[in-house]
Chain A
Amino acid sequence: MADLTTDFIGIKSPNPFWLASAPPTDKEYNVRRAFEAGWGGVVWKTLGEAGPPIVNVSGPRYGAIWGADRRLLGLNNIELITDRSLEINLEEIKRVKQDYPDRAIVVSLMVPVEEDAWARILDAVSTTGADGVELNFGCPHGMAERGMGSAVGQVPDYVEQIAGWVKKHSDMPCIVKLTPNIADIRMPAEAAKRGGADAVSLINTITSITSVNLDEMCPEPMIDGMGTHGGYCGPAVKPIAMNMVAQIARSPKTAGLPISGIGGITTWRDAAEFMALGAGNVQVCTAAMTYGFHIVQEMISGLSQWMDEKGYVSTADFIGKATPKVTDWQHLNLDYVTKAEIDLDLCIKCGRCYAACEDTSHQAIEMGPGRVFTVKDDECVACNLCVNVCPVEDCITMRVLEPGEVDLRTGMTIPAKDDKRTWLQHPNNPAGDPLACISRGQ
């Protein structure tokens, strides 16, 4: 059986599945339950400065969107950092770490942008035996209004400065948690690296309004007739998060910077995808908040089975394996041609492919007598929309045209495999290399 043990910036855990800093890791009771359920580690919910505790709203904190059968797809929250006292949190962290020495406990922190404040909280955390700290530069609501959270994460200079303070005042491994509410995620990641951070984790939540109450004419969740934006997470944000992970993983300036992947991870497969793009481990929140802690068992068994099937012995064998395959559009092969093919044995004749193609795409599907749907190769641009809207998996697939075959839509003869053109060599590119303008019979 595959070895799921993970070493992330020197922090060892029996599996790569950590619970992200969030309500599931707010207190001893929850964290003990999580460890009993099998989670490899937790990032303890963000601690703030000593003093009067944070106050949360006492109305609804979450909003959601749902897919078919009310499956929760996206969750939005307006909860702040821990609203329990610093002392109690520290005592609990110490107790739990003593009882679970093999599990990772990283403590999330958020204090004002003052060196003293960071020095004080690091000092306090160092007494707990925790394995590391995560700097919460991501929270987009509430705390950001007070100059913390994403207000810091959106200013690379602050990120660099605070990461520097943390490394100066502590020996603990330091992860910087990034906000996605920024134009280019690489900027704060580079800043974190410059400041000396050992890793970044991403993404924190995305600013969002999930729904509007049309009776009250008010965004939800509603607090006494008013609403505010929250932080969005859950399966809906996974594609956004994975792109950001890949951007950092493949950027020369941040290449090699360890990444803890976060954002809508719900199954072992989601985790494997983040890790293939370069995440050294993953953090989970919404899936646990939706289904409870027991889901980690599916993640563990699923990842193990897949690794065994693929012959991966340890997680290091596949971490970052897909990163080199992430490129820019201009490097894609424009001589690569595929055509949709409909398996009539699997087809249930719903006609969704036809409606999608005929109404909104390239009129490349024919509807014959008896609801027989076939692809017109001379019209099909291989956009994949039919595949995406078909309710039957693998009913519509893309066939790759072999060298020597003719694309009936363009008249182009498919060239040999190594004789390919990208946009950089394409004759239609005014800035392209004219020497590379090979005719394809178009």
Chain B
Amino acid sequence: MTHSPTTPGVVAGRLPPPVLADNFADLHPPLDAHEAAVAADRCYFCYDAPCMEACPTTIDIPLFIRQIATGTPEAAARTILDMNILGGMCARVCPTETLCEEACVRMDAEGDPVQIGRLQRFATDTLMEKGPQPYERAAPTGKTVAVVGAGPAGLACAHRLAMHGHDVKLYDARPKPGGLNEYGIASYKTVEDFAAREVEWLMGIGGIELTTGAALGNTLSLDGLVKDHDAVFLGIGLAGVNDLGIDGAGLEGVRDAVDFIADLRQSDDLSKLPVGRRVVVIGGGMTAIDAAVQAKLLGAEEVTLVYRRGREAMPASEYEQNLAAAKGVRIIDHAAPKRIVGAAQVEAVEFDYTDDDAKPTGDGFTLAADQVLKAIGQKLGDAASLKTEGGKIAITETGRTSVAGVWAGGDCATGGEDLTVTAVAHGRDAAEDIHASLMGS
């Protein structure tokens, strides 16, 4: 090893490979059969269960947990996958602490919910290890649907459409399908190439033809898609990144957190991935947390996450904040960057302290930095002629856009929470509506 956490600048190999391997191992190791039995035992099988209500894909959680408890995790997986074909990924990345597990009545009873997420992973892992995806296609309908974007929304939509007997042309701008599952989630949440394995498993249903390197505005046009297919679904995510709009944002060492995470996810040798000695992450969402924690795990000496409002206003959950703190990330709230300082390479970031409305208080401080990761939100890329609302494609409850024959869902559309699980719900529901509309029912 040539470098250490204290080596100045942005360099690779700050930690020996065994330490890196350990740092990026599964955040929550899977439950074994005994642990799953004990965890499943705690479910009360609530009537009209609040957890199910809190799940954006409305999985029948009490039923799948009972199926685990009675020794049929494969049946449990079917219960999950019927509603959420990406149930395996959602089991890993869902912020369960603000969804199903927050609603669990055990929270009221003793402040300790049933481990729904980990039980879901136990069920889906069991089924996925046993073989191909279990759904069969209906008789061919002769209809073809274009699905743009092979992220969670597009994949859920494509699978459901294929199941109903439609042919799906699936397009994605990146070299690999999976969207943020593949490029945008902290790697310790989805180890061993799970995102890619899940996509391959899902595509096993057949009838989905994938074209990569194809995006709206480059090789695809909305008009052309509408003309060539019976319906179009857009699950194109948020391609743009918000700017800091301050001096020094162009200095070397300043980059988007999403790119940092994507590089990390695609790296096959973490010891070759450069990271700063002193890293400043700006933002308060999941991307900010994922970037900050991973910078620390790569061996940065100091990682500071700075957010312009109070902790409670952070889009990242309390659980995620605590995770970051536990990994050694320092979180500073109520501060906004004023200027990034440096000659060619970033050297420091000047901050204003801010009030609850993110307005400068007049006081401030400076953090030394050799790497700055921006995570202040993403924005919609090319949405062609579609009507937008609040910077997202406006959709109805079943995903219809302002243009007939075009549906949309996931992060690019209104009504989601920028979560994998809401994207899956969008894609699934749009597919059902497309199917109903194509079959004239």
Chain A: residues with CB nearer than 8 A to chain B? Answer: 68-70, 348-352, 354-355, 367, 371, 391-392
User: In the assembled complex, how far is the CB of residue A369 from the closest CB belonging to chain B, in whole angstroms?
Assistant: 12
For A350, give its contact among B37, B38, B105 (CB under 8 Å). Answer: B105
User: In the assembled complex, how far is the CB of residue A17 from the closest CB belonging to chain B, in whole angstroms?
Assistant: 30
Tell me which residues across on chain B come within 8 A of A352, comparing CB atoms: 44-47
Establish whether residues B41 and A351, one from each chain, have CB atoms under 8 Å apart when the complex forms: no
CA distance A69 to B50 in the complex (A): 24
CA distance A350 to B105 in the complex (A): 6
For B23-57 the 0/1 string (1 means CB < 8 A from A) is 00000000000000110010011111110000000
Establish whether residues A348 and B105, one from each chain, have CB atoms under 8 Å apart when the complex forms: yes
With A69-B38, A348-B108, A352-B45 given, name 12 new contacts (CB 8 A): A349-B46, A349-B108, A350-B105, A351-B47, A352-B44, A352-B47, A354-B47, A355-B47, A367-B47, A371-B48, A391-B109, A392-B109
CA distance A352 to B48 in the complex (A): 9
Interface size for B (C-beta < 8 A) is 14
Residues from 57 to 99 in B contacting A, C-beta threshold 8 Å = none
For A69, give its contact among B41, B48, B105 (CB under 8 Å). Answer: B41
Establish whether residues A348 and B109, one from each chain, have CB atoms under 8 Å apart when the complex forms: yes
Query: Which of B37, B47, B48, B106 has the largest number of chain A CB atoms within 10 A?
Result: B47
A-B contact pairs, 23 of them (CB 8 A): A68-B41, A69-B38, A69-B41, A348-B105, A348-B106, A348-B108, A349-B46, A349-B105, A350-B44, A350-B46, A350-B47, A350-B105, A351-B46, A351-B47, A352-B44, A352-B46, A352-B47, A354-B47, A355-B47, A367-B48, A371-B50, A391-B44, A392-B109
Tell me which residues across on chain B come within 8 A of A68, comparing CB atoms: 41
User: In the assembled complex, how far is the CB of residue A65 from the closest CB belonging to chain B, in whole angstroms?
Assistant: 14
Tell me which residues across on chain B come within 8 A of A351, comparing CB atoms: 46-49
CA distance A68 to B108 in the complex (A): 20
Considering only CB atoms, which chain A residue lies closest to B37 in the complex? A70
Considering only CB atoms, which chain A residue lies closest to B38 in the complex? A69
CA distance A367 to B47 in the complex (A): 10
CA distance A68 to B44 in the complex (A): 11
Considering only CB atoms, which chain B residue lies closest to A355 in the complex? B47
Tell me which residues across on chain A come within 8 A of B41, comparing CB atoms: 68-69
Tell me which residues across on chain B come within 8 A of A69, comparing CB atoms: 38, 41
CA distance A279 to B370 in the complex (A): 81
User: In the assembled complex, how far is the CB of residue A304 from the closest CB belonging to chain B, in whole angstroms?
Assistant: 30
Considering only CB atoms, which chain B residue lies closest to A373 in the complex? B47
CA distance A392 to B106 in the complex (A): 10
Tell me which residues across on chain A come within 8 A of B48, comparing CB atoms: 351, 367, 371
CA distance A68 to B40 in the complex (A): 10
Query: Which of A70, A349, A354, A392 has the largest number of chain B CB atoms within 10 A?
Result: A349
Query: Which of A350, A355, A371 has the largest number of chain B CB atoms within 10 A?
Result: A350
User: In the assembled complex, how far is the CB of residue A320 from the closest CB belonging to chain B, in whole angstroms?
Assistant: 39
CA distance A36 to B48 in the complex (A): 53
Considering only CB atoms, which chain B residue lies closest to A354 in the complex? B47
Considering only CB atoms, which chain B residue lies closest to A68 in the complex? B41
Considering only CB atoms, which chain A residue lies closest to B47 in the complex? A351
User: In the assembled complex, how far is the CB of residue B75 from the closest CB belonging to chain A, in whole angstroms?
Assistant: 16
